[in-house]
Amino acid sequence: MSVILDRALTYSNTVPRGTVHRAAICEVFLTDSARVSGEEFLVAAQLPRVHSYYSDHVTAPATYDSMLLIEVFRQASIYVDHTFLGAPLDNKFVFISGELEVADPAALVIGARPGHAELRVRVAGLKQRGGAVTGSTLDLVMSVDGREAATMRTYAQWMPGGAWDRIRRSGRAVLDLTPDRSHRTGRRVAAVTVGRSAAQNVVLAGAEVGDREVRTQVVVDQDNPAFFDHPLDHIPGAVIFEGFRQSAMYAAHELFGWSPRGLLLSRVQTEFTRFGEFELPTDCVVRVVDQPAADTVAFEIAMAQEDAQIARARVHLTRTGQDAGAVQNRFAYDVVGG
């Protein structure tokens, strides 16, 4: 049964950082929440106008980054799991899959003040074990300053630290990571080719362009605080999402001559299939899904370590700049069946 909220959501203070798995207060974007019904909640978030990572892009006009939207959705899903669905604060989380879609790019244009986002969160499914909830599928809709901007579905599970440690030990034992196997990545690609300004936010190196696909290496920089707000024992989803986005942008630039200055990550469907290990090289293979339309293109991307897939995605890019228009193929290619 629904209830009528007796107050407006506030944007004065952040929620406790432990409820969104952040160490730095400045990386917490959620500010308030309320229960609407037994399976529906509202969450408030403030979107920063300036950020060393989320503001580091070359698009014009300046918009809130799709990676920022993903992070706010991630924080909201974890917060709801802890605050309303009973996930213990000391449990470890595993994200199984996520699907983001930007509904209105114009709603993401940065204004004169930090954006006030409101997320409506609905429980689409729960996983239970022994009478306790151990996972959730959530549908989230984000409005920015009163205008619906994006949606995301998240599927996550959680477990006690002891169970997590056993899973990680057994998984790493199969990979035979002792002693450490050192690996090197090539030189990072130019920041502008992946829509970035700062080299430190580039996660691609050693890119190889063929006539049918693009292969990239993923740089996992544990000194970048945007990706590693606190120590982790595996490659985080933020690096994986950015690896997918940059690989798609690089492919669009190299295969079709599309300028990254006018590209928006408008949709991404991602499945995480295995933990990514720091000791192993990480690579992406990018293939075009369908013949590109004038202003959109979709790629299928597989991310792997030593030929074992750790994640896969279908990434859609939309041209939003003034140069949007006819497709310019620089290379011949075969499309992957959609």
Q: Give the least confident one: 50-64, 91-105, 157-171, 270-284.
A: 50-64
Total residue count of the chain as it appears in this document: 338
Query: Cα 241 vs. chain centroid, distance in angstroms?
Result: 4
Burial of 86 (0-12, 13-18, 19+ CB in 10 A): exposed
Q: For 182-202, what is the mean pLDDT?
A: 90
Q: For 300-321, what is the mean pLDDT?
A: 95
Residue 220 banded pLDDT, cuts 50, 70, 90: very high
* Per-residue pLDDT at 280: 94
Burial of 67 (0-12, 13-18, 19+ CB in 10 A): buried
**H or E segment and range at residue 251:** helix 237-256
Residue 169, classed as helix, strand or coil, is: helix
- Asked if the model's pLDDT at residue 241 lies above 70, the reply is yes
Domains along the chain? 17-159 (3.10.129.10), 176-319 (3.10.129.10)
Preceding amide of 61 cis, omega within 30: yes
Confidence (pTM) = 0.92
Phi/psi at 163 (nearest 5 deg)?
A: -65, -40
Mean residue pLDDT of the chain comes to 91
Residue 169 banded pLDDT, cuts 50, 70, 90: very high
Percent of the chain at pLDDT exceeding 70: 93
What's the rounded Cα separation, in Å, for the pair 309 and 282? 10
pLDDT tens, position by position, 112-164? 999 999 999 999 999 999 999 999 999 999 999 999 999 999 999 999 999 99
Q: How many CA atoms lie within 13 A of 31 on its CB side?
A: 17
Residue 335 banded pLDDT, cuts 50, 70, 90: very low
- Asked if the model's pLDDT at residue 6 lies above 80, the reply is no
* Per-residue pLDDT at 323: 54
* Per-residue pLDDT at 326: 39
* Per-residue pLDDT at 212: 79
* Per-residue pLDDT at 292: 86
